[in-house]
Structure 1
């Protein structure tokens, strides 16, 4: 009887521990949420430093909580990313329309998944394997900005600006 009771208590303890661990993992994957006031301040803080008012007023910093990729908007986006923390930051632009590989660096690809894909959508970094690509980081889960420094949306239908990124991952207008 004592052995059965110990076994039962062990099973209950394992289930409790598993439940707690699962809850913690799910909580860790929740994207950073800002209040509307914090979001407004961040958008102002992350405006590109340029004399061109058109760029300053129409190139908008985007937070993951805004879920810009929930719908296809055919807008141009700029992504500052890197494959790992030792690499330099890279900047790429893409139009939010269909699935595509946006950029490749070494064995890594930055991919865009439109909302047609129900499992995952948005920005994903994958590492090439023999069998395909292993997901490394998803933009909405990159809380410490280890792989994704920033995402900007160009809010006009006119010619998008020519942007570059410095060694710290800061976006600048080319030749300014």
Structure 2
């Protein structure tokens, strides 16, 4: 439905002007950010904890395409109204599918191109590349020397990391 509204809004924009563009939120359709927009958002959303960088990342960066031996932190949930979960994993091999966590028959996977939440046995709930923030709140890359042993102060209702 939202895609239809976006197309209709685009047609309205072409025929009558920008004031008629409706329901076409860039975030909803995984809009590709310009390098300037991406840099601003990275600065705003990245964090420094114990002198180590926790870099906020987006799907367009394709962070899992190549094994980089970095730790990643994912804030995700299994249902639209559920509480947020936080998991960490290391991207150390180019596996096609790496299981990260299992909660109530819902499994978080890292694929070569993205992150997925599947309801067992194999029903895809959401893919990070196409998620509008409903199931994936944030993904971070850890730039510390070792596995992050930090305890992030996560608000389980909002999914936000508190400083």
Offset at 1:30? 6.2
Is residue 2:149 matched to residue 1:158?
no
Question: Which residue does 2:41 correspond to in 1?
Answer: 42
The range that moved more, 155-164 or 84-93, is: 155-164
Decide which structure has the larger Cα Rg and report it.
1
Q: Give the number of equivalent residue pairs.
A: 132
Note if contact 1:60-1:154 (Cα within 8 Å) is conserved in structure 2.
Answer: yes
Structure 2: segments with no counterpart, 5+ residues? 1-6, 8-27
Is residue 2:130 matched to residue 1:141?
yes
Question: Which residue does 2:22 correspond to in 1?
Answer: none
Offset at 1:36? 1.1
Q: When the two structures are superposed, what TM-score results if normalisation uses the length of structure 2?
A: 0.72
- Partners of 2:64 and 2:98 lie apart in 1 by 13
Q: Return the match for 2:115 from 114, 118, 123.
A: 123
CA RMSD of superposed structures (Å): 2.2
Question: Which residue does 2:88 correspond to in 1?
Answer: 93
Offset at 1:105? 1.5
Moved over 3 A (4+): none
Is residue 2:54 matched to residue 1:59?
yes
Residue by residue, what CA displacement relative to the aligned partner does 1:12-31 show, whole Å, maximum 9, x if unpaired? xxxxxxxx9xxxxxxxx963
Q: When the two structures are superposed, what TM-score results if normalisation uses the length of structure 1?
A: 0.67
Is residue 2:150 matched to residue 1:171?
no
Note if contact 1:103-1:110 (Cα within 8 Å) is conserved in structure 2.
Answer: yes
Question: Which residue does 2:14 correspond to in 1?
Answer: none
Structure 1: segments with no counterpart, 5+ residues? 1-19, 21-28, 116-120
